[in-house]
Structure 1
Amino acid sequence: MTHRQKHHRRHIGRVLGVVAALGAGLVAAPAPAGATSHTVRPGESIQAAVDAAAPGDTVVVGPGLYRESVQISKRLTLRGSGPATVLTPAPARPLAAHGCERDGNGICVTGTEQTAAEQVTIRSLTLRGFRKNGLWASHTDRLSVRQVTAEANGVWGIAQQRSTRASFRANTVRENGDAGIFIANAVDAEGGATDTGGTVIAENTLTANRIGVTVRRVRNLAVRGNEIFANCAGMFIVGDESKPTAGAMTVRDNTIRENNRLCAATPRLPAIQGSGIVLTGSEASVIRNNTIRDNKGSAPMSGGIVLFESLVGAANTDNVIENNEVKGNSTADLVHRGGGSGNRFAGNVCTSSEPAGMC
């Protein structure tokens, strides 16, 4: 090979190397960031960071105590640093910063009837001691609440109305005045059950609330894999005479035990104690593969799995209660009161029922 040929080959090799490097750089270079992360530290305002965030951004809140409520109405992620990121009520002041604070809630995720608040994620923080609710959501779609501790709030720990396709997973909800997790069609209006679009309540721990989980006048959701104990009642599925009827949901693989606190009667409910799962006015729900043990009381709705006529006289119809382990509950493991047709009990492991013969 001549000197000219060798030089030409080296030149071609260098050109190819540069092209390859440029090509590799084009592949490896990250795409321009479409979202921004905003960091909040103790002494700074979470709300200010939320207000400054663009849709799709993430607000990261460091460990510490934050005395404020937060209002969210756009697509974003609010992420704490674990249970040590704590939100508590703001000091009393004549003018609240926004409606969420004024109403006594911790975090509010709210859209409108015309435009839902979409794809909001709340995770890894604690909501403690709010006068009303730890987290309140209304007019949302695909809300995700994960690894949140909601404790010692006046009404509900985590609550949602007029919303679809939500996911509530791996939360710890305790010592709230009413339900730990509450899902409803609407809290301020009567009406038929609404379709939640497949909302999921899964893998949560719910303890020392009035009721662990309440789903009221809604359809099409799943409650699965939760640990529910030491409440006055484990779970309520609530309907009435309105149409569509509440129900068409699946409740499976939950452990519901020792919900034996005594809670006094309210204008909506009699006294409750020792209730595992209570269905009132439900249609076509499936209660399957749950472990329901040692829920004991003498209140009207005491028992393991209880079908009970609603307060307005609506019966349960076409529900399936099968393959549950229901033991040590009183007044009985399985209770079917208030009439209704098409309800089926099959394959349950239990020792007592009312009427007799369902075990």
Structure 2
Amino acid sequence: MRAVNRTVTATAAAFLFAATAPALAADYPPPANPGKLPAASKKGRKLVVCKRGCRFRTIQAAIQQATGRDLIVVKPGTYREGVRILGRRYDGLRIVGDPRRPRRVRLDGRGLRGASAQNAFFVNAADRVTIRGFYARNYKANCFFVVNVDGYTLDRLVAERCGAYGVYAFNSKGGTMSNSEAYYNNDAGFYIGQTPPQKGRKKRSFVTNVKAYLNVLGFSGTNMRYVTIRRSQFFNNGAGIVPNALRTEKFPPPEENVIADNDVFWNNFNYYRGAPFKIPERGPAGLSAYPIGIGVLLFGSQDTVVEGNRIFGNWLLGFGAVQQFELAQSNDPKLKEAATLRNNVVRSNRFGLGGRDLNGRDLGYDGSGTGNCFEANELTSPVPTIGPAAAYPPCPGPAANSANPEVLAQAAQWLAVQDPKKPETFEQFWLRHPHAPRTGVRPIEHFGQ
């Protein structure tokens, strides 16, 4: 019996570790200390970019002449370039396209080579940069990417068909992603990762009023901290929202995050049946393929609140929480601690849309960790919880939670059948239910259906 349990646990660990993706390997600069915010700059110049009749015909040409005091205004058109904003000279720079109709100001990476082909906008070590009102597509790495910064504003953006992430912040503090959409990205539509730990009053990052659809993951956050995701929609992705702890990036685990007042639905996009992007062959570290059909998954999170969300129509699982098994097996005590689910609160979420759009299963929690609790959630699916309801303790959470082996066994079953060469295997454990109509959106399980 002990041998069987070890097999189930190890297999489940492989499945769950594969549920998340670290930042894809690319020629990114090494992480650096984002530093402190400089004093506010005086008012600068307005530099105008347009295809014909302006001083600047490319965005990069304007940036070469700009400092952080300036405003760069970009007129409608298609710009085939990769924009780079590098260093403290650009602290506070604002770059604005068309906030009301961002698709009119396009950056297209098709046909570009070298560094220009990697990111539509790349901001490194320039604090408080604003990028607003742009549409980016067809870049090999990311559409909009900021790294090593203290403060950023990414607003009214459209990110389509980039090689890793649509809108991406890494090793940074205190930014906003808002009023934007991301789709057809072969990792995550939105991503915040490797947030440096802070003491005292933390600088939070806010993801507000965004839409992510037809990505592998709607939102991913490896080792993210102090992030609030609110009033947004994550639908028709392989999985919806996935904070996670991995050793491939610094500062595990994800902690002090809030996921509140979001619509997380229909995340059953089986991209192995076809996708408008390069289909991932394997999960991270050569393990199993990604799971498909999950709304929200916490993988090694601490002090995270999941509250007031509407989670429905996800045919594998609505919400899941599991310890990070790969880190739990480490000899490093810090990594072992980072693997632990601790003080996570799941409350007042509405699952299954009042019975009108059911999840396959509403809740799955492996019972590990300490202080994790569930309160006032509306469960309506025929399988409301994996395992007994007693494994989902009320708030405040107990000093020690109790293991739920049924979740591990279920995960092992899911993993055992998944084969990227047989796309239908990713749907074997789905529990399908009719979807409630939703204005302007239709459910998509297979691209082109």
199-208 or 83-92, larger mean C-alpha shift: 83-92
CA distance in 1, matches of 2:190, 2:308: 21
Structure 2 length-normalised TM: 0.64
- Structure 2 gaps of 5+ residues are 1-41, 273-281, 329-338, 394-449
CA distance in 2, matches of 1:338, 1:63: 53
Q: Kindly, what percent of the aligned residue pairs are identical? A: 25
1:271 maps to which residue?
Answer: 290
Change (3 A) 1:231 1:35: same
1:181-330 equivalences under 5 Å are 181-185=190-194, 194-195=197-198, 197-240=203-246, 245-263=253-271, 265-268=282-285, 270-297=289-316, 303-312=317-326, 313=328, 314-327=339-352, 328-330=357-359
CA distance in 1, matches of 2:341, 2:388: 19
Equivalent position SS for 1:165: strand
CA distance in 2, matches of 1:240, 1:317: 16
RMSD, aligned CA: 2.1
Contact 1:240 1:280 in 2 (8 A): no
Change (3 A) 1:355 1:341: farther
Structure showing the higher strand proportion among its residues? 1
CA distance in 1, matches of 2:69, 2:110: 27
CA distance in 2, matches of 1:120, 1:285: 28
Shift of 1:283: 0.8
CA distance in 1, matches of 2:365, 2:271: 22
Shift of 1:263: 4.8
Alignment of 1:354 with 2:362, yes or no, is no
1:87-98 equivalences under 5 Å are 87-89=107-109, 91-92=111-112, 96=114
Contact 2:194 2:252 in 1 (8 A): no
Structure 1 length-normalised TM: 0.80
Alignment of 1:48 with 2:80, yes or no, is no
Alignment of 1:336 with 2:365, yes or no, is yes
Contact 2:244 2:300 in 1 (8 A): yes
Contact 1:194 1:244 in 2 (8 A): no
Shift of 1:244: 5.7
CA distance in 2, matches of 1:173, 1:290: 20
Contact 1:68 1:90 in 2 (8 A): no
Equivalent of 2:76 in 63, 78, 84: 63
Q: Relative CO higher for 1 or 2, CA cutoff 8 Å, sep ≥ 6?
A: 2
Which deviations, in whole Å up to 9, do the C-alpha atoms of 1:151-174 show, x marking residues without a partner?
111110011111111000101111
Contact 1:286 1:320 in 2 (8 A): yes
CA distance in 2, matches of 1:267, 1:90: 27
What letter matches 1:238 in structure 2? Answer: N
Structure of larger gyration radius = 1
What letter matches 1:72 in structure 2? Answer: I
